[in-house]
Amino acid sequence: MPLTADDVDRFEASRPRLGALAYRLLGSAAEAEDAVQETFLRWQAADVDRVEVPEAWLTKVLTNLCLNQLTSARARRETYVGQWLPEPLLAGDSMLGPADTAEQRESVSYAVLTLMERLSPNERAVYVLREAFDYPHREIAEILDITEAASQQIFHRAKKHVADGKARTEVDEAVARRIVAEFLAAAASGRTEPLVRLLTEDAVAIGDGGGKVPARAKAFEGAVAVAKFLWGLLKPGPAKRALVGGPAEVYAWTANGGPAVVAVVDGRVVGVMCLEITAEGIAAFRTQANPDKLERATALWAAADHGEPLFTAF
């Protein structure tokens, strides 16, 4: 039986929430969109008149689609070239989802999305449903076909795994951009000492080029090593310009709710570097340079009022 206009409207009203949920589960906006579309096809094929609570039905279908995707994604990531990092979402992206509480903002931060790669698919689902969307364990149990007690145990285990690797300090957008501007000024100074002072002693830097853009698979570790790497990365050179297609305009921005550096060549985002801030300084730099994971960022950038770049690199 074809969907009525009301049936379609019910789904469309849930689409933003479903997209935000799928992104947190998968770490990929492109895969999240596919999961949402597949959920719509399941809705289209269902006898919707017999669905008592559409939101619960849609959430269960989407979550289980994402669980299947996560299981297959793990196998694919074992053969991924270099380090796998999530697809970053720039400020203003609707897929960032709810951000009313610290837990909701944290669940979509780039640092936590990266840490969630440690979790099993079930742990990730329980963590996201509880932490980001405040689902009670009774409903999570129904979504995942587990007991309420199991949901509680899985959540505590998942939360501990994420907390063990986290020391992030939350900052608002204005402070985030100021931190990025200070970092870029230090990086452009031509000396590593000003950079080292901004970093924690155990700072790390890692990048994802997906085999399409050169990126170091093993992280740089320690303030001095990271500072030297960052200084070299931003130092102009003909080989770098040729690699990205020209000189890159560099902006202080936010991605996934945190401080970020965005590099743009002729309107195309060629890199998003997400900074992890702690009370002691900048603890991590995670750079997404895989062009397949920057298409959404480029589209959003074209529609954004981003002002003038801080400087031109490469």
Least confident of 12-16, 142-146, 237-241, 271-275: 237-241
- The model's pLDDT over 108-130, given as tens digits with 9 standing for 90+, comes to 999 999 999 989 999 999 999 99
- The model's pLDDT over 164-196, given as tens digits with 9 standing for 90+, comes to 765 667 777 788 888 898 999 988 887 889 999
Q: Is 52 exposed, middle or buried (0-12, 13-18, 19+ CB in 10 A)?
A: exposed
Structure tokens at 259: 């401080």
* Residue 2 binned pLDDT confidence (cut-offs 50, 70, 90): confident
Percent of the chain at pLDDT exceeding 70: 98
Q: Which among 13, 17, 19, 8 is positioned nearest to 46, based on CA atoms?
A: 8
Q: What is the pTM of this model?
A: 0.93
Q: Hey, which bits of the chain come out as E strands?
A: 199-208, 220-221, 248-255, 258-265, 268-278, 281-288, 311-313
Instruction: Select, from the ranges 61-65, 196-200, 210-214, the one with the highest average predicted confidence (pLDDT).
Output: 61-65
Least confident of 89-98, 124-133, 230-239: 230-239
Q: What is the pLDDT of residue 76?
A: 76
For all residues of the chain together, what is the average pLDDT? 91
Q: Hey, which bits of 219-305 come out as E strands?
A: 220-221, 248-255, 258-265, 268-278, 281-288
The residue to which tokens 């799928």 are assigned: 22
Q: What is the pLDDT of residue 168?
A: 62
In three-state secondary structure terms, 276 is: strand
> Average pLDDT in the 19-36 region?
97
Residue 81 above 70 pLDDT? yes
Q: Which among 121, 132, 148, 142 is positioned nearest to 26, based on CA atoms?
A: 121
Four-point Cα dihedral 80, 291, 62, 94, nearest 10: 150
In three-state secondary structure terms, 237 is: coil
Q: What is the pLDDT of residue 210?
A: 93
Q: What is the pLDDT of residue 310?
A: 87
Least confident of 8-22, 163-177, 198-212, 216-230: 163-177
